[in-house]
Structure 1
Amino acid sequence: LERNVCHVAAPLTPLSNMAGKAGKPSRPRKADKDEEEQPLQAVLVADSFNRRFFPITKDQPRALLPLANVSMIDYTLEFLTSTGVQETFVFCCWMASKIKEHLQKSKWCRPTSPNVVHVITSDLYRSLGDVLRDVDAKTLVRSDFLLVYGDVVSNIDISQALQEHKQRRSMDKNVSVMTMIFKESPPGHKTRCEDDDIIIAMDGKSKRILHYQRAQALKRLHFPMNIFHSGSDEFEIRFDLLDCHISICSPQVAELFTDNFDYQTKNDFVRGLLVNEEILGNQIHMHVTKDGYGARVSNLLMYDTVSSDTIRRWVYPITPEANFADLEGQSCTHSRHNVYRETGVSLGHGSQMEENVLIGRNTMIGANCTISNTVIGANCVIGDNVTLDRAYIWNRVHIADDVKVKQSVICDNVEVKHGVVLNEQCVLAYNVVVGPDITLPEGTVLSMHHPDEEDDEDDDEFLSDDNDVGYRKDKTKLKVFNPAEVGSEGKGYRWKTSSLEDTEEDELAECIWGEMSSLYVSSQLLKKWAPVFKNYVKRPQDQLDCLASMEEVFLERETHWAVLMSMYQLEILEEEGIMHWFNQGSTTDKSQQLRRNQGLLKFIQWLQEAEESSEEDE
């Protein structure tokens, strides 16, 4: 292979249909060269193998979705290149041709690129296991390699983790097969995704993982007794870690996936090795960092979080004005309050860009608009008197006058007509038309693809983009748009999102904004544990201590007032204690900002009015 071009490999045949015996040890390897002499390689999986971004990803693969106006896969490749990776294998399945075309036009496939990118496509991949079995079948990796997905955004310096991994491997090549990268992050932090919450038992000295368990929806934890007899002097159980989805792997990892055909995901692999550690002798280690940024865009809540963090410069030096992807015509200026403007932006009289705003090239914004915490793509037209807050507006979008958008995603070529209101967590997929004068309820998802299309797919759910596109268009011609859902002039179909009563495990019913409302979960937990809280929160000082702790936890979350009201309704906290806490002097800017929260102010006002009404009755 020449090093100055972007290679596209022929489709490879995954081995998922083969049957194997779990727990089979890895085969001995023959090395033509010492691994130390090999360049650092990476395997980038540009497919998530789930439908969490449907219906958006029916038109565009997740790896190419724009995050701060740059495709997600470019962030991942920038991280790999900055880490010192010299050769990257990109594996694609869903809409592989689009990913291939994007990479061939990108800087990663130029002769000057320090990271040679090879694109490998197949419409038969169904899991990470299939990808790694092909890596082994083709002997693509010759030494330690990085394993990442194409939606990872990070600036973490992993040089120390690489060095530690190599030191362990130099002592015994076949023992430590993987080092997983974690970042310290307390429970409830906005960069933590509930889907990825994990509990880890580890050896504090060697950093060897002894037990690995996903915490999602668990009511109780189970630890095997053997981990307490592992001979560790320093034994730690941790729930303060964020999985950055960056793993340093030895070549044996791909071999182990081949030898154990029931391994389909990284979780399968980790659990399998830990269960059979005494038999096989393979170990998994971890590296924990306090510095840097690392997150995976696993759903739209994480998309919101990572986009915001990028605009706020938490991923420095990966910033909007850096144009790290070297996109043509995408020069950008950065001004106070993190306001970014690309070339050709037109701003109408009286319009304000308050803070954390990115506006793409050749976008026109009308008069008297208010824009905050928002990303707008290229060639968009925004009318007069428009309010945008935490809105993610992609390319070539037309928004008419008097529109309000709150924490929603609007994809390419969408038209939002006069007077439309988009409440929180709405999604308008590609080419949808909405309005005029309609309010979309919270969590509305609209697409030009009818949801009934899913019922007619066969069981082989991850298809290539070349399959039956024309057939689907013909099939949906007879469908009728519902004016009550999209407006009298609207075009699009409403998709089902998960509800609290919906217990189906089908990912089509899973809300693309993430799991069920954390607020609902919190209220259920408060009801369950209210008797315990009441037993400990009795005196006025206890109440103030409780309120101070809540303030610390909820400084950066907007649900503080709702939890506060639940604790008041459950008679855990009393009115006097809440009013005393609210009126006492706040010392920090964040505390003052928390007390200006509209939901909290309305709750305090309600308490005051209730007290006045009670006094009048007396």
Structure 2
Amino acid sequence: MGAQKKGASRASEDPEELARLPLQAILLADSFTTKFRPITLERPKVLLPLVNAPMISYTLAWLESAGVEEVFVVCCAHSKQVISYLENSEWFSQPNFTVTTIESHDSVSAGDALRVIYERNVIHGDFVLISGDTVSNMSLTQVLQEHKERRKKDSNAAMTIVIKRSKPSQIIHQCQLGTDVLFMAIDPNTKQLLYYEDNADHAKGSIYIDKLLLADKSSISLHNDKQDCYIDICSPEVLSLFTDNFDYHHLRCHFLKGLLVDDIMGYKIFTHEIHSTYAARIDNFRSYDTISRDIIQRWAYPLVPDVKFFRDSSTKLERQGMYLVSELGQSRSAQIGPFTVIGNGTKIGDNTKISNSVIGDGCSIGPNVSIEGSYIWDNVTIEDGCKIRHAIVCDGVIMKSGAVLEPGVVLSFKVVIGQQFIAPSYLMVSLLQQPIKQNSDEKLEYVDNSTGNAEISSLTHALDISNGEIANQQQETQCWATSELGIGGAGYVWSICEGGHDEGWRHSVAPIPTEKLAEVIQAAEDDHDGSLPTSDSDSDEEPRDDSYFENEVEATFLRAVDENIKVENVVLEVNSLRLSYNKQTANCAGAVFYSMIKLALESPHNSAGELVQALMKVITKWKGLLKYYLSDIDEEIEVIMKFEDMCLESAKEFSPVFDKILYQLYDHTIIREEAILRWDDEKRDADASDRIFVRQAEDFIQWLREASEEEDEEE
């Protein structure tokens, strides 16, 4: 039986037959990890809301837009919930796009799931392999063409994985995603993957590569600045390899690394790097936060809150990245800040402030509530005076008056937080009790309670919400009685992650603590000239890097303004971006000034004079941040030249008042006299088109020169 399947797969490799085959994809609707516990004990990860739409909807929307015609969704954990969602969604009725669910209760790893697919004999050619927690807007055309061309020349070209350069930074970016640094060795000529390691033991930048890899390679590029997108183009033989080797559980740790060291089979893996498009996988709470913000800031366009697959098509994009629905019960005194999404039917009370957050459908938020950097899912009740910072609050949670959630708190479904209770940082609460022991194969993640199974009691003791009593607890983890969650509270407290409290920050939606970020930046600086040379083949991407760098600094600055972050903490984040893009301090100065101009432009103004006042108000408040990057004359000149460029392109409203702004920068001791005069000298032999603003400011420049000459004479 197995031989016939393999033969059928090989027969399908004929180019003419491949051309007639529909493009297929295998979507794993299970992460096969426990990183989203305790939430995933009650709902599968792919159905958790990501900016108010299930994660799997992003993956299916991308597959459809990329030209995939048949998708086989392998449902393991909570399979009934996944199948029910898909059967009642629009994905079962799309033209030229077929979604088929395959249920497997016995699969506890990706390898098990792919063996099930192989036994069904439904894949007939090259296919896309992806998990249902991946967000992308990339085109598949080029990577598919590259893969098929390689297959024609070499039948052992089994797989092509999609990678990209880490957007914010190398080591810093991995820290922001809560993952380990990834090291890769790639043949720069053929793009063949030769080495893959994401082990934390290599965090200092030293790796060991078998010298046999160098034997027949003219050159090898080593990288620690690449991100695995977990989007794979596979040949049909990939499925049979899982059947032949039952040790392949994890797609990367076991299968990919296994093929890289297997000299007998001879299969090869290649890479395809994307540059201007988006692709990322939600691996933990921190990457959930990072990717949510990317979606809100439209990096993943058209996968943004105002597209059709979101539950409420009436969602509209307002200024400063606010997404609001038409039926929003918002008090006039309530304040909704930038980069915020509000769901349908939600009511917001008087004097409540919400910023940088996602609020789901049907929520009731009382007066005088403060929500910042948080994710509030559907039908949540938040009574008056509550404060929530950088937390995840699941469906049906009730927060009684005066309750406070410190950064990193996770409240699972229908938890009740009592009056005036202050939940400390990284607290995790669920109505289900934490299992006493973690199985090595993590089977506990895959209990299907969607079928009403009573067996879940073997994992969790009963919680009687009606009378607030907790059954006898004989476990080794911390557990609080309902009374200890405040008056009227209900829920079990889970221990922090396996690494203990010190590691809780890595996988949290809370901002990285200043001291931790400083340690990571220092480590990156120590290794900045380290032993990992990278290929210079991406030098043509430098203009794109400038744009990304400025956008990243702007996003960091806007968040600092909105959340009133201290200057020293903003400096840490900007420095991490500087390391990432290999920029100079002058580039940081220009990018910070660029961000200030953009913010001033969005301020209400009816005249040029009001625009000048708006900019100087921003600069005055954040003078310390700008001055940090203006330690010498060259950096000050960079700011003047950046201002010139913006007046000609993206901020033309400032053109008539260029000279007035230049004077204000001088008067506030931000730009020194010497920098202005040197700028004038450098422009002296330039074309007339490059001297527009020099001529505009010539009276001010002449005044500076005369004052300077008078000082020289006095001396």
Residue in structure 1 matched with residue 497 of structure 2 by the alignment: 498
Deviation per residue, 1:339-366 (Å, 9 max, x gap): 1122421110211112111111111101
CA distance in 1, matches of 2:96, 2:19: 19
**What is aligned with 1:184?**
165
Aligned to 1:166, which of 143, 148, 151?
148
Q: What's the secondary structure of 1:140's corresponding residue? A: coil
Q: How does 1:241-320 map to 2 (within 5 A)?
A: 241-267=226-252, 268-276=254-262, 278-320=263-305
Query: Out of 149, 172, 181, which is 1:197 matched to?
Result: 181
Which AA in structure 1 matches 2:259? L
Q: Deviations over 1:566-591 (max 9, x none)?
A: xxxxxxxxxxxx9xxx9999633279
Alignment equivalent of 1:385, drawn from 354, 368, 379: 368
Who is 1:229 aligned against?
215
| Range with greater deviation from structure 2 (342-351 or 516-525) | 516-525
> What do residues 414-442 of structure 1 show as CA deviations (whole Å, max 9, x unaligned)?
11111111111111110011121121111
- SS for the counterpart of 1:84 is coil
- 1:49 and 2:40 aligned: no
Contact 1:52 1:510 in 2 (8 A): no
**Using the alignment, how far apart are the partners of 1:152 and 1:271 within structure 2?**
21
Q: Matches of 1:151 and 1:497 in 2, distance apart?
A: 23
Give the TM-score, by structure 2 length.
0.68
- The Cα offsets for residues 107-149 of structure 1, whole Å up to 9 and x where unpaired, read as 1101x43220110111100111111112222222100100011
C-alpha distance in 2, partners of 1:514/1:502?
15
SS of the aligned residue for 2:470 comes to: coil
Q: Does 1:475 align with 2:470?
A: no
Cα distance change on mapping 1:599 and 1:79 into 2, 3 Å:
farther
The one-character-per-residue Cα deviations of 1:12-48 (angstroms, maximum 9, x if unpaired) are: xxx9xxxxxxxxxx88944257222211000000001
Q: Does 1:588 align with 2:594?
A: yes
Distance 1:394 1:227, change over 3 A: same
**Separation in structure 1 between the aligned mates of residue 508 and residue 527 of structure 2, nearest angstrom:** 33
Residue deviations 1:481-520, cap 9 Å, x none?
A: 535641121111111113765799xxxx997528996766
Q: CA deviation at 1:458?
A: 11
SS of residue in 2 equivalent to 1:321:
coil
Cα distance in 1, alignment partners of residues 91 and 96 from structure 2: 8
When you count strand as a share of all residues, which structure comes out higher? Answer: 1
Answer yes or no: is the 8 Å Cα contact 1:147–1:246 preserved in 2. Answer: yes
State the distance in 2 between where 1:367 and 1:309 align: 30
Runs of at least 5 residues in structure 2 that lack an aligned partner in the other structure: 472-479, 529-548, 573-584, 600-617, 629-715
The 10-residue stretch of structure 1 (381-390 or 484-493) with the greater mean CA deviation from structure 2: 484-493
* Alpha-carbon distance, 1:470 to partner: 6.5
* Structure 2 counterpart of 1:97, one-letter code: K
Superposition pairs of residues 102-501 of structure 1, within 5 angstroms: 102-110=85-93, 112-172=94-154, 174-185=155-166, 186-187=169-170, 188-189=172-173, 193-195=177-179, 197-218=181-202, 219=204, 220-232=206-218, 234-267=219-252, 268-276=254-262, 278-325=263-310, 327=311, 329-452=312-435, 460-461=443-444, 462-465=446-449, 466=451, 467-468=453-454, 471=457, 475-477=462-464, 479=470, 482=481, 485-498=484-497
Larger-gyration structure (1/2): 2
Q: What CA deviation, in whole Å up to 9, does each residue of 1:149-173 have, x standing for no partner?
A: 111011112211111111111223x
Instruction: Say if 1:194 and 1:216, in contact at 8 Å, map to a contact too.
Output: no
Conservation of the 8 A alpha-carbon contact between 2:408 and 2:509: no
Q: Any conservation in 2 of the 1:54–1:512 contact (CA below 8 Å)?
A: no
Partner of 2:257, secondary structure, is helix
Instruction: State how far apart, in whole Å, the 2-side matches of 1:245 and 1:334 are.
Output: 30
Q: 1:515 to 1:104 in 2, by over 3 A?
A: same
Rate the CA distance shift 1:345–1:501 in 2: closer, same or farther, 3 A. Answer: closer
If each structure's helix is expressed as a fraction of its own residues, which one has the higher value?
Answer: 2
Q: 1:86: how far off?
A: 0.3
Q: Deviations over 1:282-313 (max 9, x none)?
A: 11000011111111111111111111111111
Structure 1-normalised TM-score?
A: 0.78
- In the alignment, does 2:496 pair up with 1:513? no
8 Å contact 2:34–2:442 — kept in the other structure? no
Provide the C-alpha distance between the structure 1 equivalents of 2:340 and 2:493, rounded to a whole number of angstroms.
29
Aligned position for 1:83: 66
What is the rounded CA distance, in whole Å, between the counterparts of 1:78 and 1:40 in structure 2? Answer: 15
1:608 is aligned to: none
How far did residue 52 of structure 1 move? 0.5
DSSP-derived class of the 1:66 partner? coil
Aligned-residue offset at 1:451: 1.5
Post-superposition offset of 1:390: 0.9
| % identical aligned pairs | 32
Q: Distance in 1 between matches of 2:144 and 2:293?
A: 29
The two structures, once aligned, show a CA RMSD in angstroms of 3.9
Query: Mind listing any 5+ residue stretches in structure 1 that lack a counterpart?
Result: 1-14, 16-25, 534-550, 566-577, 604-618
In structure 2, distance between residues paired with 1:193 and 1:261: 30
How far has the Cα of 1:193 moved from its partner?
Answer: 2.7
What residue in structure 2 maps to residue 5 of structure 1?
none
Distance 1:214 1:600 in 2: 35
Aligned match of 1:561 in 543, 568, 580? Answer: 568
Contact 2:408 2:505 in 1 (8 A): no
Tell me the distance in 1 between the aligned counterparts of 2:625 and 2:37.
34
Deviation at 1:68, TM superposition (A): 1.0
1:463 CA displacement: 2.7
Aligned position for 1:614: none
Q: Deviations over 1:303-347 (max 9, x none)?
A: 11111111111111111111225x4x5421221112112242111
Q: Secondary structure at the match of 1:340?
A: strand
Contact between 1:390 and 1:406, CA under 8 Å: does it hold in 2?
Answer: yes
- Specify the SS of the correspondent of 1:210: strand
**Aligned with 1:31 (options 8, 11, 28):** 11
Residue deviations 1:226-248, cap 9 Å, x none?
2222323x421111111111000
Q: Matches of 1:251 and 1:58 in 2, distance apart?
A: 34
* Residues 51 and 368 (structure 1), Cα distance of their counterparts in 2 relative to 1, 3 Å cut: same
